[in-house]
Structure 1
Amino acid sequence: MRALAAVPPRVAVHLVLAALPLLSITAHVAGLVPMHVSAGLVVIPTALVLLVLGIFVPMPEDRLVLEGLRWGILATAVYDVFRLDTVAFLGWWGDFIPTMGTWLIDVDPSSRVLGGIAGYVWRYAGDGGGLGVVFLVLAAATGLRRLGPRVTVAAAVLFAVGPTWGGLMVTVLLPRGQQLMFPLTPVTVTLSFIGHVIFGVVLGLGALRCRDLEAHWAGPRVVDLEKLARWGELPDPVPVPALADIPPSALPGGSRRAALPGRSAPRLPAGRPAPGSSVLPTPARGPWLRPVVPAPRTDSGAFEVTVVDATVVAGMAPVPADPRRGSTPVPWGARPPSSGSGGPGRRPGTPALEAADFGLRSARR
């Protein structure tokens, strides 16, 4: 419900109007409402009202409607180049658009010239343009283009094949569908499917070429596809201490320790310039690591260590209790009492890792 509330009322009317030209064909074939009635009472008056509102009371989403009409009409034209080639030159199937035009203007089916003019105007401005409006509005409202060109074009093809071509097949499968439109054969099904794929590819490429498409959607996203696509990714890297932050007493002897600043060196507060200088000091950034995922070591626990510039980042899982011995769980970072690898001088419960394990000396506190 929140997603639907993010759609402005006028945009919702645009989306409903964009679907009506195709639905009016289905309603006519099903014998529910004659096409000239639905067009004259609903489609054309609603389109005129929205046109007047767009001229005198414009809103940002009106640009999406215009872009959708433009690319929907262009995609239909490319589709018709393929379709009319198979109709006029190859003769693989018939052209039912003039017949549909006679339904629209309510004339005799033999008036194919008038029917052809009315049918193709309805096909381009209503069917193709309406589909373009729906897709571009949904693309802007969901941030589809942020997922990349391939996903955008694939979504457009899925939109053209799924509800559009699927709805056409359902209409033809109605009792009077094949009689009024065209017979269903392997050739007609394949040709219509290929035509809708072409329509989807052109529509998807057109959506990619629209400038500032998302900027014309003033409200919040209906569905944040980019956020859904990133679900399950690892979190952002976490900072770990740099080598210079290790106390000098914990570092091994030699020239490396001498090169590090002493602990007694004063540290300037962040944001204050050094004495005699007007330039703010730039704090040194330590290395960054993604969280360490423990890997199984034994049956009693897990262990993973990452060393960066002699800085130890350890992730250890607690050792579970042994019910046979009646022991209690060992806390994080502690050595199990039964472990014999601790060496002399280490009592149960002491840290499993110390600085000496990595060639470092324990820092004096």
Structure 2
Amino acid sequence: EDIENYKTLLGIDSGYAYMVAVVCGDEQQGNHMTNAVGSSVRMQNHYQEVRTILKEYFNCYVGSVMANKLAVLVPYEKEAMDYNERIELIEKAREAVRYLRKRTDISFRIGFGSVGEMRDMADSYTQALRVLVESTGSVAHVDDLPIRCEYAGDYPIKLEKRLFEEIENGEINNATASAKSFFDWMMESGSGLMDIRLKVLEFVLWSEHIAYEKGGMTYQLNIRSDYLPGIMSIEDPERLRLWFTDKIAEACRNIQSKRSEKSGSVIEEAMRYIRENYNRDISLDEVSREVNISPYYFSKLFKDSTEQNFIEYLTNLRMDKAKELLLTTDSSMKEICSMVGYADPNYFSRIFKKNIGVTPTEYKENKGDTVG
């Protein structure tokens, strides 16, 4: 959902893309650039020019300067890039490196990750950085690396990747469906029962590894002592499939449970902070910083947990307090306005009427009756 929102925001129609890592320095020595700190300051000063040049060469989206690096997203129409296109891209990048040096007096290296779906761009960027470490040229492409993992025949690599993404997200139903599909593929491929057992064990162990990393399971050395003898004793493929999907579902549940627990504690802390500070001019950014998560993620988490966005929750809290003060104190409207976090009495009155249906004065005069 987030990826689709970003695609819409940026006007990207392509289903695929690849990442480019642009690294700068005073000069290249082997596989690294010298004076990374100094050159990053200079690249910051030349950012607009560098960005314009990169967009002209690659029709891309350029990120902000991070140390001495730029992350660049290039939308792509196809699922893979053929040899001739790759060679053409590398030549174009070499030309871009020379031109950037000429215009900025900064040395650059460019690394290319592989083409993939938008959700795989973190992997593509990691590849783009890695290929620069593993090569000494000014331009390098991951598909030129001598050592890459190859998959024989019709191995369902996309299904495998999707399965582990679903496990990582705690998507029980989707993950178990993908696990069943993968098991079906193994059966249909003519694999022997021993090969299937080993693959099932590999996937279950890795699923639990993800759950350990997410904090959803407590690691114990002997917790899996019965796994190997257990699956070796299973002769019926359907029983093996059930064991497999049960373990995948269990890993998902553990991840989901931990995530809910963590989300709940974060939202409780945020709501406590809002209740203690609603009488100040607090913002979503301030509260998200207090609970130590990004404003964007906090906003989504808050809405999912409370069914209100941040402003709605804060406004409702202020309105409840204002109603209480109007009925139980002799404070002036200006004083009540300030006590519930508003600086402008006129604005407070408009917000109150919009949410309660009557003005603060009418509410006080009618002793809480909201019928105008």
Q: Structure with the greater relative contact order (CA < 8 A, sep ≥ 6): 1 or 2? A: 1
TM norm structure 1:
0.26
TM norm structure 2:
0.26
Higher strand residue share: 2
The structure that has the greater radius of gyration is: 1
